[in-house]
Amino acid sequence: MSGHSKWSTIKHKKAALDAKRGKVFTKVIKELMVAAKSGGSDPDSNPRLRQAISTAKASNMPNDTMSRAIQKGAGELEGVNYEEISYEGYGPGGVAIIMEIMTDNKNRTVAEIRHLMSKYGGNLGENGSVSWMFEKLGQITLSKNSDEEKAFDHALEFGADDFNALENTFLITAAPSETVNVAEAMTEKGYEVISSEVEMVPKNMMKISGDQLKKLVLLLSLLEEHDDIQNIYSNVEFEETDL
């Protein structure tokens, strides 16, 4: 689980940077719409929508904004029809990259992403070219303000697969379909859930340095700024001084 722990630290640092760019609401609205489109507008029977609602609440999204997004996704209100796709490839130094996309114009999006990848030392690959290096896991982060042994016992009781104590937080790993259930159960027990997400977690981390690392950081930053990219995952291992 050491790779998962490192990935979680990196991911949440990047999430903080992303929040500063003001893209959180846009991403969450898209996820609400696609989740409602794929599984219906009832969160009780749609775990993905429940997870999206949980994320929306954590980002302090107004209830009416959330409701409109769900209604648009379910076809109850007129809205943009987003297509959900993923792209895979390699960045500088051979670092694996997966991008989760939501777009209303697939041809435009893939052309723009291919341009960025090739301009900054990467290249797009075929589906499956790097996804085998990752596994889809629920990642729940708790504030480290509670007893570790009790938190561990409760996490396993509620269906978690793994539990790790990091420097300032506890990291719970769960099956994707159980992530929102475990997070809600921990919240009901009084634990402070900082984040709850389903992520592509690298099985093994990779270190690069020098110019390759600089190029990779620039490429990832530019991809993160792209409006159609919901999430980016890579297997690069950053040092504290790199971020």
Span 12-54, pLDDT tens digits: 555 555 555 457 788 899 999 999 999 999 998 998 999 899 8
Burial class (CB in 10 A: 0-12, 13-18, 19+), 108: exposed
Global pTM reads: 0.79
Beta strand 96-103 with 134-143: parallel, antiparallel or unpaired?
Answer: unpaired
Q: Give dist(CA 164, CA 237) in Å, integer.
A: 18
CATH 1.10.10.200 segments of the chain: 2-73
Task: Kindly state which CATH superfamily the domain 134-202 is placed in.
Answer: YebC, transcriptional regulation domain (3.30.70.980)
Confidence of residue 5 (pLDDT cuts 50, 70, 90): low
CATH 3.30.70.980 segments of the chain: 83-132+205-238, 134-202
pLDDT of 137 over the 80 cut? yes
pLDDT of 2 over the 50 cut? no
pLDDT of 92 over the 90 cut? yes
Tokens of 241: 């001084």
CATH number for 83-132+205-238 (one of 3.30.70.980, 1.10.10.10, 3.10.20.30, 3.40.30.10): it is: 3.30.70.980
Domain 2-73 has CATH 1.10.10.10: no
Span 152-165, mean pLDDT? 94
Q: Are residues 183 and 161 in contact, defined by beta-carbon separation less than 8 angstroms?
A: no
pLDDT of 9 over the 60 cut? no
Confidence of residue 204 (pLDDT cuts 50, 70, 90): very high
Span 4-19, mean pLDDT? 54
Q: Give dist(CA 231, CA 84) in Å, integer.
A: 12
Angle between helices 47-58 and 24-39 (to 10 degrees): 160
